[in-house]
Structure 1
Amino acid sequence: MDTRKRSVLKAVLWQMLGLVVMTLVGFVLTGSVRVGGGMALINAVLGLVLYLGYERLWQHIRWGRIAG
């Protein structure tokens, strides 16, 4: 089981990677760094919150775990 700190660090690092990728995608689709960055920022904030909740939910599900 991960600690809360580990879950948060994993989520933040994942979202940073996603922020870069989404900024590039947004820029390619809109031609604007500002619009692409705004889209990426909104996606990153929502993704971080949802990912943390998702991770914490799975901490309570025993299915598929190997005891050890």
Structure 2
Amino acid sequence: MKEKRYRTLLKTVSWRITGTIDTFVISYLITGHIGLAASISGVEVFTKMFLYYWHERLWNVIKYGKEKPKPPEYYI
């Protein structure tokens, strides 16, 4: 089955929110500065959304590891 573009976009946004919170926390723990952690998170949120979206779209085209849905069996 192919995935619709809007589904990929929603997955991109939800994953990026999770990832950005993670980046913010790690950046804060390393630097100890909320402003610097926010700056790092602010930049990476856009770059990683772009990369993730196109990564998902590319994998949607690759047939490796996908199975065709089997047609339903009808009994007479």
TM-score by length of 1: 0.93
Percent pairwise identity? 25
Name whichever structure is richer in helix by fraction: 1
Larger RCO, structures 1/2 (Cα 8 Å, 6+ apart) = 2
1:5 maps to amino acid: Y
Partner of 1:67: 68
Cα distance in structure 2, aligned partners of 1:60 and 1:7: 13
Shift of 1:51: 0.5
Q: Which runs of 4+ in 1 moved over 6 A?
A: none
Gap regions ≥5 residues in structure 1: none
Gap regions ≥5 residues in structure 2: 70-76
Matched residue count: 68
2:28 maps to amino acid: F
Say yes or no: does 1:19 pair with 2:20.
yes
Shift of 1:56: 0.8
Q: Secondary structure at the match of 1:59?
A: helix
Query: Could you say which structure has the larger radius of gyration?
Result: 2
